[in-house]
Amino acid sequence: MSQEYKEINDLFRSSFEGFRIEPSKSAWSNISRKLWLWKFFRFSVSTFNVYYVAGILTATIVGGKLMSDKIPQTGSEISSVKNSVSTHSLSQGKTAVTEKNPNSETIQNTITAKIGISNEKSVKTGNIKEQVKGNLHYNNSENPDQSTSNKINAGNIIENGSKVMNNIETASNEDDSFFNDLSGNTGNKDVQISIPGKLSGNIAKSSVEQDQTETETEKEQDVIIYDTIRIHVFDTIYTYDTMTFVPSGKSKDKPVWSVEAFVSPVITSGGFAAKSDEFSNDLRRLKNATSSGSGFIAGAEGGIQYRHWRFNLGFTYAKFSTNYNDTITTKTTDTISYPHVTPGGYYSTDTTGHQWEYDPIHHFYVYAPVITHTWHDTSVTTIVHQTYTSTNTKYYNNLNTYTYLEVPFSVGYEFRYERFSIVPRVGGVAGILLNAKGRTLSFNDNVAIIDLDKNKLPFLKLNWSWMLAVELNYRFNDRFSLVAEPFYRQNLNSIYGNENPFRQSLNSAGVRFGIKYDF
């Protein structure tokens, strides 16, 4: 390499040695955000990540599916059932609609526009025959003996030649059984109309041209539809009985299952309390040093509602933090005494100890004070005391984080107004400590701030809290609701173990945002 090359290399190498450029303030926040994403998509037991989200969603879906399987059929599959019926039998229904019976027009139009006829489970192709004369009979598959006895029952569709009339209930003008049959689901009813309130008695009149006293034996051919025929009023599916607040289409006497996935930002305060006066000064310092932190809770809950009452149980992943800002000033006084001073050397004793030096007079090593000048005296009787005082100030600015896997449970009471509902809830939370990071006070020898040891955490594994919440619910369709829920939680126990001389409670408040699905 030529001299010139070296000179150029040296010029740049020396110029850029220690060359610094301060990065912009946003650089760290960008790195921090990317690190969070990296951490979120990487599995770790102690951090909330995408695998937890997937687990919660899976649990929600599987739980929902399991619960929905246990719920009695309620006519939830409106559209599909409607289609199947249209294929098989609505040709009759359409005929009925065009029927110009002034008395039956009201209900028939309603049926055309709003009503789907659902035949659950077992619409059997071919069972409905064309040019049928006679009644459409209800066949209770669970109780075959009653099939024939219910031949004139709600939902009978009678075809009389080319005329098809909707003889929903011939007895509707006579008693209240019509409404019971329509909105309820008891007995052998084959018609279920989820329309609350009143229905005109015109329905009964629509069958005026049909001999209502006709017996089964008079019919030439019956159309047999197994199980129930359900009729739902789609336009009113979201209206609610003003007396019971139970959604139409769902029996007020049956429980409604639901699941909810949610996330909630929280603010946390860590309240300290001493168990005795012994550490009152330290406690005061702790209180002054501790300020509110933040955190989040994410998870899913399953719920069951019976009339107004709601019971919830779930799993959540919760991460809380508290800020700890403290200043500790330590003064150290070091007194050094010189009991003997002899020419040619010195020795000393002090309270903390310094380096040893050789005493040439007495021929042994002694403590020697660290002083900047050479001390010399010929007297052997002089005793010199020298005191050093040093002040050491330490600033602690620390964020303690606590990670819990929690099981919240609660009971609530629902007040509903149209699509909105308010559910005050009270309950408890059992939290299992997964991890904690940060610092704590140690009382072993002196009061000192120490790093938390992951393998020897001073906290209780199980943490109990009580909870008060107000769920604000907006139902935007028959199944889904948006939920916003302010809540407050307070520890029932100290997060520290009993051996600690003080208590600390992790109290938190926040707003939970979620989406709820009713089965």
> Which spans of this chain sit near other proteins (rule: CB under 8 A)?
4-5, 7-9, 11-13, 15-16, 18-24, 27-28, 30-32, 34-35, 38-39, 399, 437
> For the chain, how are helix, strand and coil distributed in percent, rounded to 5?
20, 40, 35
Token pair in block for residue 319 = 């991460």
Alpha carbon of 119 to those of 72, 139, 196, 433: distances in Å? 15, 12, 21, 52
Instruction: Quote the least distance from Cβ 43 to other proteins, whole Å.
Output: 13
Grouping H, G, I as helix, E, B as strand and the rest as coil, residue 201 is coil
DSSP letter string over 341-390? EETTEE-BEESS--EEEEETTTTEEEEE---SS----S-SS--EEEEEEE
90-98 helix and 78-88 helix, angle to the nearest 10 degrees: 80
Quick one: 20 or 456, whose CB is closer to other proteins? 20
Quick one: 19 or 220, whose CB is closer to other proteins? 19
Q: Are strands 341-342 and 293-306 parallel, antiparallel or unpaired?
A: unpaired
- 449 class by beta-carbon count within 10 Å (0-12 exposed, 13-18 middle, 19+ buried): middle
- 274 class by beta-carbon count within 10 Å (0-12 exposed, 13-18 middle, 19+ buried): middle
Quick one: 51 or 245, whose CB is closer to other proteins? 51
Instruction: Quote the least distance from Cβ 339 to other proteins, whole Å.
Output: 38
Quick one: 92 or 290, whose CB is closer to other proteins? 290
Instruction: Quote the least distance from Cβ 4 to other proteins, whole Å.
Output: 5
Instruction: Quote the least distance from Cβ 399 to other proteins, whole Å.
Output: 7
Quick one: 121 or 454, whose CB is closer to other proteins? 454
Instruction: Quote the least distance from Cβ 327 to other proteins, whole Å.
Output: 16
Quick one: 23 or 197, whose CB is closer to other proteins? 23
Quick one: 11 or 432, whose CB is closer to other proteins? 11
Grouping H, G, I as helix, E, B as strand and the rest as coil, residue 110 is helix
Instruction: Quote the least distance from Cβ 296 to other proteins, whole Å.
Output: 15
Instruction: Quote the least distance from Cβ 24 to other proteins, whole Å.
Output: 6
Contact 347, 355 (CB under 8 A): no
